[in-house]
A = this chain, B = another copy of it.
């Protein structure tokens, strides 16, 4: 009778244990929202529900508002990305090489989430986005710190700017590949060469 309780999906540890089909629906919705929002940040909720193979009412049953859905989707994407990047070895070898490895491993996935992040910015505000993003940035931050200590990374510019440079170049490469202006097979090497040059200590 009262099937939808608007129990926030991202609820705390006291969250009610959901039934198997409910969990299946939620997973399908998050996947569909991730895919849909990543290609077009303005899709409406009905479209996302359709893509998830789920009724619109069901979606609203799990995510009370569009904002809640976007928020949960962003969290989902962050977790997804973080898991994928955990596989990259950042410890061994000089920092620039490790950075190149990280770059070649992550430019595609970062691009996939680019539009989603735009949607998040618009609907959730900068603050909430920044908190999520920082988690991913820490990975690079630590690596750059090691490189600076070893003298392999330039120290004449702010550390935050170097991180920004890294991400900006990754995003740019992904965009260029997307637009067909850069060969996907060359992209990894190209972005690595550019990042390395940009972050190398000046002569």
Chain A contact residues, CB within 8 Å of chain B: 42, 118, 122, 126, 154, 156-158, 160-161, 164-165, 167-169, 171-173, 175-176, 179, 181-182, 186, 190, 193-194, 197-200, 202
Q: Which of A157, A164, A173, A176 has the most CB of B within 10 A?
A: A164
Do the beta carbons of B122 and A190 come within 8 Å of each other? no
Do the beta carbons of B158 and A169 come within 8 Å of each other? no
Do the beta carbons of B179 and A161 come within 8 Å of each other? no
Do the beta carbons of A168 and B172 come within 8 Å of each other? yes
- Taking the closest CB of chain B, its distance from the CB of A144, in whole angstroms, is 14
- Complex: chain B residue closest to A200, CB-CB: B197
A39 to B5, CA, bound (A): 38
CB contacts (< 8 Å) of A169 on chain B: these are: 165, 168-169, 198
- Taking the closest CB of chain B, its distance from the CB of A111, in whole angstroms, is 13
A167 to B164, CA, bound (A): 14
- Taking the closest CB of chain B, its distance from the CB of A95, in whole angstroms, is 16
CB contacts (< 8 Å) of A168 on chain B: these are: 168-169, 171-172
- Complex: chain B residue closest to A193, CB-CB: B157
A136 to B177, CA, bound (A): 21
A118 to B126, CA, bound (A): 17
